[in-house]
Amino acid sequence: MTRFTKGHGTENDFVLVPDPEGTLELTPAQVQRLTDRHAGIGGDGVIRVVRTEFATDDAVRSLAPGAEWFMDYRNADGSLAEMCGNGTRVFAAYLQREGLVADREFAIATRAGAKVVRVTDEGFAVDLGPWRLVDEVGARRDGFDVMVRARFGKPVPALSLDLGNPHAVVMLPEGITLEQLDLTEAPEIHPTPVGGANVEFVRAVGPGHIALRVHERGVGETRSCGTGAAAAALATRFWSGVEDFTPWTVDVPGGRLTVTPLGGQRVELAGPAELVADGEIEL
C-alpha cells in the first residue's frame, strides 16, 4: 500500500506520493492509474516527494545543497515534466504541513532548476525563475512566431515562451470568446515544437487583468496552469508595449492567480494551495 495526499492550486489538482528516500519507481502506467478520475484518485499530475539527494537525475541532484526536497512531477499520461507552477505551491503546502520545512521562504528542486517559495497571506508565491521568448527576433518583428489552431477553429497567431516548460499564447481576436473554444483535443501548433507545448488562449478583462483557458500537453484542458498563467501575462505585457513590473491578475476556470514580472527576466506566481484528502492505495 502506498500513502498519498490529494491537493490542488486553483483546481489544478495533483496526487502527492511521499518517497523521501527515493525507493519508489513510479511507472507511466502507475501514474495513469493514480490520475484516472474514474478508476483512480484523479488528478492532472502526480508529484513524488523525494529528498533531492536521492534524485536519479544528476542535474537535479546537484541542487541538493540549497534545496532539500525535489518535486518529481509527472503529467497525467505518465510523462516527465520540467515543473508545474501550481504544483510548486501544493508541494510547498505539503512540505509545510508535514513539518519538512520550517522557514517562511525556502527552495525546492525541479527539473527546471531550484525555485524559491515564500509563504503569503493568500497561500504561497514562487519565483518561477528566468523566462524567455523562444524567438525574440521574430516576436519583436511580427508580434508572434507560431500559428495555433484549436479544434474546429481557424489558425491564429501565437507567441512562444519558455518558462522552464514550453508555452504558446494566443490573444483571441474579436468575435471569439473563451467559451466558444473546443479544447477536447490538443490544439495544433505550426511549426510543431519538439516535445509539444502548453497552449493558452487569452482574453483581456481590463488593465493588468486577463482571463484564459489552457490545454496542457500530456494532460488536456485543465482548470488552471500556473506557468501558463505566467506565460499569458508576460505575453500580454509584451504585446502592450509597456514592459514594467506591475502585477497582473489572471482569472482561470479554477480561480485567480497573481503574476508579477521581476527584474532579471524572472517572474513570480502567487495563489492558494489546498490539501484536501489523505489515504492509501495499492499500486
Predicted pLDDT of residue 166: 95
Predicted pLDDT of residue 271: 98
65-77 confidence digits (pLDDT tens)? 999 999 999 999 9
Determine the structural domain holding residue 48 and report its residue range: 2-120
Predicted pLDDT of residue 173: 87
pLDDT over 90 at 142, yes or no: yes
Query: Is 271 within the bounds of a domain?
Result: no
For the chain, what is the domain count?
2
Q: Which residues are annotated as a binding site for substrate?
A: 12, 75, 85-86, 165, 198, 216-217, 226-227
Quick one: average pLDDT of 163-192?
A: 94
Predicted pLDDT of residue 283: 87
Quick one: average pLDDT of 184-192?
A: 96
pLDDT over 90 at 174, yes or no: no
Kindly report the pTM of this predicted structure.
0.94
* Cell, residue 45: 499530475
Contact 69, 80 (CB under 8 A): no
Same domain, yes or no: 174 and 251: yes
Same domain, yes or no: 38 and 72: yes
**Helix and strand counts by DSSP (H, E) for the chain:** 5, 19
Same domain, yes or no: 92 and 148: no
Same domain, yes or no: 76 and 149: no
* Cell, residue 254: 479554477
Query: Is 44 within the bounds of a domain?
Result: yes
pLDDT over 90 at 119, yes or no: yes
Same domain, yes or no: 162 and 71: no
238-250 confidence digits (pLDDT tens)? 999 998 999 999 9
With left for phi above 0 and alpha for psi between -120 and 50, is residue 10 left, alpha or beta? Answer: left
Quick one: average pLDDT of 216-224?
A: 95
Predicted pLDDT of residue 175: 86
Quick one: average pLDDT of 182-203?
A: 96
Query: Is 282 within the bounds of a domain?
Result: no
User: What CATH number does residue 160 fall under?
Assistant: 3.10.310.10
Mean pLDDT of the chain: 96
Q: Which of 133, 212, 225, 273 is catalytic?
A: 225
- Our answer to whether residue 84 is catalytic in this structure is yes
pLDDT over 90 at 270, yes or no: yes
Closest to 255 in 3D by CA, of 8, 34, 4, 10: 10
Q: Which of 17, 81, 84, 252 is catalytic?
A: 84
10-63 confidence digits (pLDDT tens)? 999 999 999 999 999 999 999 999 999 999 999 999 999 999 999 999 999 999
Same domain, yes or no: 33 and 110: yes
Query: Is 62 within the bounds of a domain?
Result: yes
For the chain, give the percent of residues with pLDDT over 90.
96
Contact 198, 45 (CB under 8 A): no
Query: Is 168 within the bounds of a domain?
Result: yes
Q: Which of 96, 120, 144 is the last residue of a domain?
A: 120
